[in-house]
Amino acid sequence: MKISVVIVLLVMVIAGAVYAQLPEVGYIGLYTDHPWQFDPSMSCVTGVGFYPVEMWIYCLPSNLGMMCAQFMISYPPNIIQSTVTTNPAVAVTQGTLDTGMSVCFQDCQWDWQWPFHQSLYVTDQTPTWIEIVKHPDPNVICVGFATCAYAACGPA
């Protein structure tokens, strides 16, 4: 009996530490580095002429965790979209990145997680912004996250 109480308390301490480090509102962003060397400051690329870019979509859950996200990506005309890779931890996807994407993970996520990786090509020297925008479904009011506790919205 004493061993099970210690285990439960240990799990509560670990869960409390994870909960305390996460923000109140989740975050989603576009990055240019790989998941095994993720650095949230890597969100800009430069090149000359026609060149490839590897883009990773990362989500940081809120302190309530994250099960799902809804968003869309706005691509400028000088970007050619190529291969999209879905994270194996994703259970369900609906839509496309450029028309509105709904994605759900197999389990609750408590740390930075990438739902998608996409290869892109820049066609010219024009300065360009690729950005996360609100899902176009009129029932979605913001860039949204379904937390492990209830649905909540992050900043659009």
Residue 128 — very low, low, confident or very high, per pLDDT cuts 50/70/90?
confident
What mean pLDDT value characterizes the chain?
77
pLDDT digits (tens, 9 = 90+) for 30-55: 888 655 555 555 556 777 788 898 99
Report pLDDT for 67: 92
Residue 156 — very low, low, confident or very high, per pLDDT cuts 50/70/90?
very low
pLDDT at 116 over 70: yes
Q: Is 77 helix (H, G, I), strand (E, B) or coil?
A: coil
- 151, 130, 120, 57 alpha-carbon torsion, rounded to 10°: -30
Residue 73 — very low, low, confident or very high, per pLDDT cuts 50/70/90?
very high
Report pLDDT for 40: 58
Tokens standing for residue 62: 């809120």
Residue 90 — very low, low, confident or very high, per pLDDT cuts 50/70/90?
very high
Report pLDDT for 49: 80
Measured CA angle at 117 (ends 49, 35), to 5 deg: 105
Secondary structure (DSSP) of 87-133 = -TTEEEEEEETTTEEEEEEEEEE-S-EEEEEEEEEE-SSS----EEE
Q: What value does the mean pLDDT take over residues 71-81?
A: 94
pLDDT at 23 over 80: no
Rounded CA gap, 65 and 152, in Å? 11
pLDDT at 77 over 90: yes
pLDDT at 115 over 50: yes
Rounded CA gap, 10 and 13, in Å? 5
Q: What share of the chain has pLDDT > 70, as a percent?
A: 69
Rounded CA gap, 25 and 123, in Å? 36
Going along the chain from its start, the domains and CATH numbers come out as 2-153 (2.60.40.680)
Q: Looking only at Cα atoms, what is the longest distance across the chain?
A: 68
